[in-house]
Chains A and B, each alone.
Chain A
Amino acid sequence: MAEPAAKRRLEELSAEAEAALGAARSSAELEELRVRYLGRRSELTATLRSIRELPAPERGPVGQAANSVRVRLEELIAERGAALEATELDRRLEQDRLDVTLPGDPPLPAGHLHLVTQIRRELEDVFVGLGFEVLEGPEVEYEYYNFTALNHPPSHPARLPGDTFYLSDDVLLRTHTSPMQIRAMESRPPPIYVVVPGRVYRPDTPDATHVPMFHQLEGLAIDEGVTLADLKGTLREFARAMFGPGQEVRLRPGYFPFTEPSVEVDVSCFACHGTGAVGSERCPTCKGEAWIEILGAGMVDPNVLGYVAESGYDPERVQGFAFGMGIERIAMLRYGVPDLRMLWENDVRLLEQFGA
């Protein structure tokens, strides 16, 4: 009778365990039940362990029955466990809910390059693309480089202290980037194709269009057979790169001591596309003139080449052009900045206005 009794007990145990597992309410409770029914001290484990002590004929049937109960309970536990975990996770996720409308951690704020730096770099890149190198030079400069070698006679009014900051009789703050023309040519023989960006200084009392410090970009191209038409083409490419395709440039005769012929260069107004009018109103950018004066230029005066003759600049053999533009002027034109002084106030609200 032992055989049916053992088997019956296993069936009872199985039924009891199944009921308990089915009623388990949490993973913890389930774990308790697993220990109770399948743990080392459980009845089932004890039964399995004691099979060897059974009479030989009983061992097989009881062993099989006990094993099948164990497998069945293990399956039930896994099944029930998965169900409970899913419910519990749902509950926990529900509790973890955040107010998604609060702001995130502040991102690293975007910094900005100054408008003048942005335009300077853009200009450098345009002229690098046209085959020019970029040179820089000192701002504290000799009168010789700033005036004398640029064909300014000793009596030229630009030399007066009203127009130039002096540090001593012959040392000054450069009034233009042009002294680098001479320094560049002194340092190497032709051909030379360079642009020179940098700060320049003039003792102008600040107003909307004057500040005592501003930035220029100088250009110089000296080679065999460089012509005024080449200047026009080069500046047209510059105008198209900076102000948009289809831009035209116009050369007008001008006057500078260090170029001959000298020209003033206008670009067609990019605001009104060279028509002088926006709708029925006079174009505010070019004041109805359809052209905007943007820079001064010319063919390098033979007298200037005479100052660097030792470096191989023979005016009968090489010639070329030079130009100089105000970087702030381009910034003001392109972005409509109304007052030059704002550019040096360093108000973060203004600095942040212009991307990049």
Chain B
Amino acid sequence: MRVPFAWLRSLCDPGLGAAEVGELLTMAGVKVERLHRIGVGDPAAFVVGRVVEAERHPNADRLSVCTVDDGSGEPRTIVCGAPNVAAGQTVAVALPGAVMPDGTELGEAKLRGVRSSGMILAEDELAIGEDHSGILVLDNGAAPGEPLAAALPIADEVIELEITPNRPDVMGVYGVAREVHAVTGAALAEDPAATDAPASGSDHASDHASVEIVDPDICPRFTARVFEDVRIGPSPPWLKQRLTAAGQRPISNVVDITNYVMLLLGQPLHAFDLDRVRGRSIVVRRAREGESMVTLDGTERAFSPEVALVCDAEGPSGIAGIMGGAVSEVSAETTRVLMESATWVGPNIMRSSRALGLRTEASARFEKGLHPDLALAAQRLAAKLMVELCGARLVAGTIDAHPRPASPRTVAVRPERIGSVLGEAVGEDEVREVLQRLGFETAGDEDVGSGRVEVSVPPFRDGDVQREADLIEEVARIHGLDRLPASLPARRSAVGRLTPAQRLRRRLEDALRDRGLSEIVAYSFTCAQALQRLRLDESEALRIRNPLSEDGALLRPLLLPGLLDAARRNAAHGRAGLALFESAHVYATGSEPAASSSPRGGRPADERHHLAGLLTEAAPATWRAEARPADLYAARSVVEALLEVAGVPWRADRAAPGAHPFLHPGRAATVVAADGRQLGWLGELHPLVARDWEVPAVAVFEFDAGALSELAPDADERGYRDLTSFPAVTQDLAVVVAEDTSAAEVERAVRAGGGELLRSVRPFDLYRGDQLGPGRKSLALRLEFRAPDRTLTESEVAGRRADIEAALDEIGGGLRG
């Protein structure tokens, strides 16, 4: 919303500059987006002049050599190219050195041999309007030598405001002036719509046209007035300048009046050429399926049945509240005007405007919701201007379709409550004064001292102010939020802390970082192709109905695709040695039913917090060693560290066939908790998946951080155990087993034989050789025995050996040597 400052000042002038007024508006909740300077540079270089003589240029037919009285006493010679220049005209003159609105500086110049010292101006050269057909002739009695700025608005500032959806009232300059009045107390001009134009003639508007609202749910009110003997022509410069400064193109007096009223009061109008309204009847209804129309901008538009239309006897003549139609557009030939001032339903206008991709000054106002009373106010102001500027005859009466008039709203506010919400008391006198300045009426003195102020809400604030809380906001924003003290809540209880799960997740993320992995953040979206590349069934992923593109139509059921994308992108930069992780949600279909009332904490999807990582190297290349590519054991090393951080006992099982189809089938493990719960997986990416994804060979892992925190022991489960008084005894064993016996099977057997005193078993060497025989391998284990209450003797430990041997025998193994 562009507010020309001179216009604003004509309605409320606090004696401050535009920047200061802008700051006050911002702090009252009407935010200034930008401050523009428009028009000419220094106005001192622009004066009123009188053309004393205008002779044809000796060397150019289209130019005139003018002698101009600029009030200085010295005649000034100006060469002018305008066809309408003539002796006796009062004109706008730019003197040499003047800075024009486009920033160019005027110099003296010889034109076809005649020196011209200055320029006689057309309105577009002053940025008042767009007319360049001839010079601007002043007819307001200005005398030669007067500053031009006194006769024409040639320089101004424009305050551009950002209007929140709840404030249609400040979509008009008068509403903005009311805010300035409320904040500064400077006098506010009389409501421009306070008085009406006189009607003449014995006919009535309803003799000329009819209005019918077929669908009242889309149109609370439709008013129409009729004007005859309308003379279409250009608007006067002051009106053109205000429109131009506000960002509207001047078109013709009638159209300009509709725009001017909208800019001043916030209520859009539409002028019909009554003679082109077929059947002279207006019908307001929803569009019919497939209906279409050519709008004022010359575009043919088709409508869905939600769009509200203004129709005549034969079909649509305008999109309600958004844009009129070409069929009954006002033209140079128009003599009879039907002026529409209607009220539309904000959400309906917003939906239609979005659906049509058509946002106009009118729709921007209607979508915020306007009060029906404004429709008549706008008719009054428009009528005055139609009579004044177009010489029109106002036909008596207003056609007013207003099916359900509402009575004014009253709301009470407790000044004490204002203080308790703000944290600073605001006196009752101030409360009344602020509300009155904002246009609210407060009840008489009998109310004083009751602790309540009864307020009636003016129509232009009806949508936004309906409860005590809304009035508190009104008082607060004018009282000044920046004046409030700063305090901290006086807490009665509540302690700030992270939950154990949050602390654990931080430690897990830190552990990954400390092991050299960098955290990525990838989109939560994925697509069917990505899941297919992972050999996963995309039909189980949650689907977004309205994705930005098919690439982001699914919610990812695992973090891996984001890591692979990041790996591909970084590898494309030539980056070697990637170590990445992500900590984020994954999504699966939940079982919660849909809910219209409160779901009482239910969740619509099964969402888990996962941690996943990707490694390309186990060790980097150096000048004395080659790089070691990451393999299953590199991933496992990271996972081991994490589960150690979590304190969760676990094991890695060979993955069941097809369990993780994106992993190398022989190098894939499922991470399983002691209770059998699957925590995640680790392994090497399947070579075909790596090929499809265009990533190098990588080791990857992913697990459920939520499950880890559920399994992680609480602090109170970690009671003291004496680990220092009695030293452990270590013993190394070499176990020979068949090639396909896993280390885990060997460990289980050794533990079974080792009994309770055996505290840990750790493989430290793996050997294959001829002396073991084909299909055999030797696994060296370091065993640690410890008793909580005594120092173990060598013989006590040696005694376990026979049991271990017996247990190994059951899995076809034995001790070596």
Complex CA–CA separation, A234 to B496 (angstroms): 14
What is the minimal beta-carbon distance from A302 to any residue of chain B, in angstroms? 5
Contact with A along B294-336 (1 / 0, CB 8 A): 0000000000000000000000000000000000000000000
**Contact of B28 with A by CB under 8 A:** yes
**Contact of B186 with A by CB under 8 A:** no
**Contact of A36 with B by CB under 8 A:** no
What is the minimal beta-carbon distance from B75 to any residue of chain A, in angstroms? 46
Closest to B345 in A: A155
Residues 119-149 of A contacting B (Cβ, < 8 Å): 121, 124, 127-134, 136, 138-142, 144-145, 149
Complex CA–CA separation, A192 to B623 (angstroms): 59
Residues on the B chain within 8 Å of A345, using CB? 569
Contacting residue for A116 out of B470, B521, B548, CB 8 A: B521
Instruction: Given A251-B484, A301-B469, verify A140-B542 contact (CB < 8 Å).
Output: yes
Residues on the B chain within 8 Å of A233, using CB? 485-488
Residues on the A chain within 8 Å of B502, using CB? 124, 134, 136
Closest to B549 in A: A205
Closest to B598 in A: A144
What is the minimal beta-carbon distance from A262 to any residue of chain B, in angstroms? 7
> Which stretch of A19-27, A76-84, A168-176 is in the interface?
A168-176
> Which stretch of A6-14, A37-45, A64-72, A222-230 is in the interface?
A222-230
Contact with B along A166-189 (1 / 0, CB 8 A): 111111010000000011001100
Complex CA–CA separation, A249 to B482 (angstroms): 9
Complex CA–CA separation, A322 to B35 (angstroms): 32
Dominant secondary structure at the B interface: loop
Complex CA–CA separation, A103 to B624 (angstroms): 10
**Contact of B198 with A by CB under 8 A:** no
**Contact of B343 with A by CB under 8 A:** no
Dominant secondary structure at the A interface: mixed
What is the minimal beta-carbon distance from A295 to any residue of chain B, in angstroms? 14
Contacting residue for B488 out of A106, A138, A191, A234, CB 8 A: A234
Instruction: Given A114-B521, A139-B524, A346-B566, verify A171-B594 contact (CB < 8 Å).
Output: yes
Residues on the A chain within 8 Å of B420, using CB? 225, 227, 319
**Contact of A109 with B by CB under 8 A:** yes
Query: What count of chain A residues pass the 8 Å CB interface test?
Result: 101
What is the minimal beta-carbon distance from B545 to any residue of chain A, in angstroms? 5
**Contact of B604 with A by CB under 8 A:** yes
**Contact of B165 with A by CB under 8 A:** yes
**Contact of A207 with B by CB under 8 A:** no
Inter-chain contact A193/B622, CB cutoff 8 Å: no
**Contact of A213 with B by CB under 8 A:** yes
Inter-chain contact A168/B351, CB cutoff 8 Å: no
Closest to A213 in B: B523
Inter-chain contact A109/B605, CB cutoff 8 Å: no
> Which stretch of A86-94, A252-260, A275-283 is in the interface?
A252-260
Interface residues on B, range: 35 or more
Contacting residue for A144 out of B497, B510, B566, B597, CB 8 A: B597
Residues on the B chain within 8 Å of A182, using CB? 598
Contact with A along B762-785 (1 / 0, CB 8 A): 000000000000000000000000
Residues on the B chain within 8 Å of A229, using CB? 422-424, 484-487
Inter-chain contact B487/A252, CB cutoff 8 Å: no
Instruction: Given A227-B421, A233-B488, A347-B570, verify A352-B518 contact (CB < 8 Å).
Output: yes
Residues on the A chain within 8 Å of B600, using CB? 186
Residues on the B chain within 8 Å of A161, using CB? 545-546
Residues of A within 8 A of B (CB): 102-103, 105-106, 108-114, 116-117, 121, 124, 127-134, 136, 138-142, 144-145, 149, 153, 155-157, 160-162, 165-171, 173, 182-183, 186-187, 191-193, 199, 201, 203, 205, 212-213, 221, 223-230, 232-234, 236-237, 249-255, 260-264, 299, 301-302, 307, 319-320, 343-349, 351-352
Cβ contacts A to B, 7 pairs, < 8 Å: A110-B516, A117-B521, A140-B587, A166-B545, A193-B489, A193-B494, A347-B570
20 new A-B contacts, CB < 8 A, other than A113-B519, A193-B494, are A111-B513, A128-B497, A134-B497, A136-B502, A138-B607, A144-B597, A155-B346, A161-B546, A167-B555, A171-B594, A173-B524, A186-B600, A212-B523, A223-B494, A225-B420, A228-B476, A253-B29, A261-B476, A344-B521, A348-B575
Residues of B within 8 A of A (CB): 26-29, 31, 164-167, 346-347, 350-351, 354, 420-424, 467, 469-470, 472-473, 476-477, 481-482, 484-499, 502, 506, 509-510, 512-525, 542-548, 552, 555, 562, 565-566, 569-570, 573, 575, 577-581, 583-585, 587, 590, 594-605, 607, 620, 622-623
